[in-house]
Amino acid sequence: MNKKTILITGCSTGVGRDLAVRLAQAGHQVIATARNPDSLKELPVACRLALDVTDQLSVDRAIEAAVAACGPIDVLVSNAGYAIRAAVEEIDDALAKAMFEVNVWGALRVCKAVLPAMRVRGQGRIVHVGSVVGRFSFPLNGAYAASKHALEALADSMRVELQGFGIPVVLIEPGTINTHFMASSKSIGAIISGNTDSPYAALYREFDLIAAEPAFRGAPAGQVSRIIQKAVEARRPKSRYLAAVSPLYRLVLSLGDGGRDFLARRAFRIRKK
Ligand SMILES: NC(=O)c1ccc[n+]([C@@H]2O[C@H](COP(=O)([O-])OP(=O)(O)OC[C@H]3O[C@@H](n4cnc5c(N)ncnc54)[C@H](OP(=O)(O)O)[C@@H]3O)[C@@H](O)[C@H]2O)c1
């Protein structure tokens, strides 16, 4: 196996953390990054660095330190991201913009920081952790799905733009994963979804019930990081990899708008007027 130098964002928890350990154990030189580097202390990786994807200075410093410690970066895994749970009409602008700042502009900021050197070397790889909801959306998930749709569009353009430089661009599209993600999306949107006077209160309650069902607990992070490892190591990676996508989500992907709306109305007990 070809040993690679791989920088990963968002390694404090979840998929990023699992992936850092997995790739290090596979013999790669891993640069694990997180907003709070104390969260990385126990990771058995080559380098642990502070990196907040929303802060240009933090990104620049981290990339400079990574290259100084480990040499040129072969692969960027852009993993940092989170969700907000809210009906579209009730989305708080500031919360949604902050989320886009991480999921979209933050991902792009880190790409822009590593790409010049990759282009000069004629070698490198970008792996974006998107979501299956980069391809469709469901109730209370509009803002997050919009951010992952935006990421898919950017990745689709980058993939072709960078083909002439020998830099593959890959999208990972996970289904539900059992990480901090669900709890954090609920708590970030709690002021909105906890309002019992909301016209969408019934929908928020249904979401909680659905999310509590064992089928929606989600796959272990390892199921997704295994697929990311494939995308990192493949000689010719695919443009997209579905990861831990349940049969229900695969069905949703195969349906048109009418079928998707029907399933969502049934799941959320919405009576069409
Ligand atoms: N879990 C799911 O069901 C699911 C499904 C599809 C796709 N995804 C995607 O998978 C990726 C990983 O999520 P996860 O499930 O592993 O959730 P997670 O455990 O909540 O991890 C999210 C990571 O993103 C980091 N992050 C947030 N804001 C950041 C910032 N400004 N700069 C740097 N890092 C930041 C978090 O760091 P802090 O600890 O500092 O906040 C954390 O390390 C995300 O892109 C998510 O959208 C998740």
Closest ligand 1 atom to residue 80 Cα is 24
d(CA 53, CA 9): 8
Helix (H) or strand (E) holding 7: strand 5-8
Task: Quick: pLDDT tens for 100-138.
Answer: 999 999 999 999 999 999 999 999 999 999 999 999 999
Q: What is the pTM of this model?
A: 0.97
Quickly state the pLDDT bin for 262 (edges 50, 70, 90). very high
Six token digits for residue 12: 């404090």
The SS3 call for residue 128 is strand
Q: Separation of 120 CA from ligand 1 center, angstroms?
A: 30
Q: Separation of 163 CA from ligand 1 center, angstroms?
A: 28
d(CA 157, CA 162): 9
Task: Quick: pLDDT tens for 207-241.
Answer: 999 988 887 889 999 999 999 999 999 999 999 99
Radius of gyration of the chain (CA): 19
Q: Which domains does the chain have, with CATH numbers?
A: 5-267 (3.40.50.720)
- Whether 1 has a pLDDT exceeding 70, the answer reads no
Q: Which of 144, 200, 204, 249 is catalytic?
A: 144
Q: Is 144 a catalytic residue?
A: yes
